Structure formats: C-alpha cells, structure tokens
Amino acid sequence: MNDSAFELPLPSLFSFRECLAYMARSPLECLYEADGESVTRLVRAGSGTALVRLTCPGERAMRVQVLGGSVSQQERELLIRYIRDWFDLDRDLEPFMAIARTDSLAGPLVRERAGLRIVGIPDLFEALCWAIVGQQVNLAFAYKLKRRLTEAYGESAEREGTVYRLFPQPERLAGASVEELYGLQLTRNKAIAVLTVAERMAGGQLSRERLLALPDSQAVDRELTAIRGVGPWTSQYVRMRCLGDPTSLPIGDAGLQNAAKILLGLDRKPTEPELRDLFAPWRGWESYLTFYLWRTLY
C-alpha cells in the first residue's frame, strides 16, 4: 500500500531537534525509533493502529507520514490529538521563556534548549507502568522491563525489517498473573501494582479522562496514590508526562536532585529547601523546569 501524509501546524516556540535529542537518549527505547531527523512510532488510532513517521522539513509545520497505508478522517483526527499531546503542542511557552530571560541561575540552561517541549506519554497505562517499573532501578534496567512487558503483551508491526511495538492495552494485562510478571523480572510489588492499574483501567474505574476531569492536582494525587504501589513520585511523574500538568514538582526524584546539584555547584544532594528556592521563580512551570534539568543529564 502507498504511504499517505499530511502536515500539522507548529507553535513558534518549538524545536523538533531538541525533542529528538531527548528521545534518542537511550538505544534501549522499544516504542519508537528516533534519529536526528525523524521519529517513527506505532500509534493506536481508534480500533486499529498506524505506523507514523514524523519530520519537520521546515519550522512552521510537522510532516506526518502514515507508512504503508492510509487512515480515515476520524483516525487522522485521533493521530493529530495524540501527536499534539505527545509534544505538548497546545502549550504557550512564552511565559516560561519570559522567566528564563530574567532568572540568572536556571535561565541560561532553558534558553540554551529553547523550544524543547515536555515529550509526553499520552497513554495513561503506559505512563503509569513506566513510572512503576522505573522505581528504584537504574534507567537501563527500567527500559529492559518495559521491553519485556511490551514484547510479551503488546501488538507489533513490521516494516522494512524493523519491528515496531505498541505498549500493551490494560485489558491484555488484566488477565495476567503476578507469577507471569515476576518471570519478566518485575518485583512482586511492582507486578501487583501493574496488574492493579490494568484491572482498574480495564474495568473503567481509572482513565485519563477521569483524571483530567478532577478539580485540581491534589485530587489527582489522591486518586492515584490510593492505588497500591503508586506513591507521590509516580503520581507527580504521571501528572507531568501524561496529564499535561505544568505544576508538578517531583522533589524526591534522583535525576532532578543530581541535575540541581550540578547547577547549584554543590558537593552533596541539595536539600528540599534548596530545591524549592531554585524553583520559586518558576511557579506554575515546575514540570517544565524539571524536564529541562533532566535534559542536562543526557
């Protein structure tokens, strides 16, 4: 089948190059292929899937190429929504950059990577599982766990010798056992947490739409941390990467602490008051400053 393509208008403060640099930070990523010019990913579109390749040949529009086929108008609209959430394209970054022009401490690192957007995880189940498997392990092992879950329970498509994978749907994992996930090297507690999330989402008690409808971030935190195995850090991470909450500040995150330690010129982990002082000028943009600080580590 022939490929089809369309263009997606871009906001002025957007750097596809910076987003791709973040996405290419690990060769262990199993859900997309990113290089210096493009990213290719299998995306769920309605009841089916579409393999899409994104490029930005100019500064004003993103080219979306559907590989190996075409999509209906409804599927195209779903793809557009996914991509806009993935790259946070509906966010006006000018207020964030205005702070960067006045803050002498963190401002320079933000200005250096101007146009970098929070690269999101629009799928709530994927975001929660990624946060859960990543708890208290190094990044390389977290990627291995994600790959094992994806290969065991997710869908896939092949093109030109490359297999592209889709993170499993909650319904697929809701029927798994703790022993099965333990066999993939998840700890028993992480296996229980993943299965609990899968069962809640498959049963309709938990969804991205439900969380987005809650009145404030505190309500989201209460909803998520009521799930066994989901703590404050996981909730804050999901608010940042999946729900588009710009105010999330994962104060206990090791990566954030390491980046702040370097920025502040410390020979020790920064204290919570020191971190809060660093973030004070960035009120309302805590998620974005966190993401930019993470970016300095790669």
> Which residue is it, tokens 């993939």?
184
pTM: 0.94
Task: Tell me the domains of the chain and their CATH numbers.
Answer: 4-90 (3.30.310.20), 92-113+242-298 (1.10.1670.40), 124-155+167-237 (1.10.340.30)
Number of helices (H) and strands (E) in the chain: give both, helices first: 15, 7
Whole-number pLDDT of residue 58: 83
- Evaluate whether 49 touches 157 at the Cβ level (below 8 Å): yes
Whole-number pLDDT of residue 276: 96
The catalytic position among 35, 103, 253, 277 is 253
Would you write out the chain's pLDDT as a tens digit for each of its 298 residues? 467 999 999 999 999 999 999 999 899 999 999 988 999 999 998 888 999 999 999 879 999 999 988 889 999 999 999 999 999 999 999 999 999 999 999 999 999 999 999 999 999 999 999 999 998 888 899 999 999 999 999 999 999 999 999 999 999 999 899 999 999 999 999 999 999 999 999 999 999 999 999 999 999 999 999 999 999 999 999 999 999 999 999 998 999 999 999 999 999 999 999 999 999 999 999 999 999 999 999 8
Whole-number pLDDT of residue 1: 47
The CB density around residue 271, as the number of other CB atoms within 10 Å, is 11
- Evaluate whether 33 touches 40 at the Cβ level (below 8 Å): yes
What are 188-246's pLDDT values in tens digits? 999 999 999 999 999 999 999 999 999 999 999 999 999 999 999 999 999 999 999 99
Whole-number pLDDT of residue 175: 87
- Evaluate whether 199 touches 174 at the Cβ level (below 8 Å): yes
How far, in Å, CA of 79 to CA of 177, rounded? 32
Whole-number pLDDT of residue 81: 96
How far, in Å, CA of 294 to CA of 255, rounded? 6
Whole-number pLDDT of residue 48: 87
52, 180, 275 from 23: Cα distances, Å = 16, 30, 26
- Our answer to whether residue 123 is catalytic in this structure is no
Whole-number pLDDT of residue 2: 63
Whole-number pLDDT of residue 44: 93
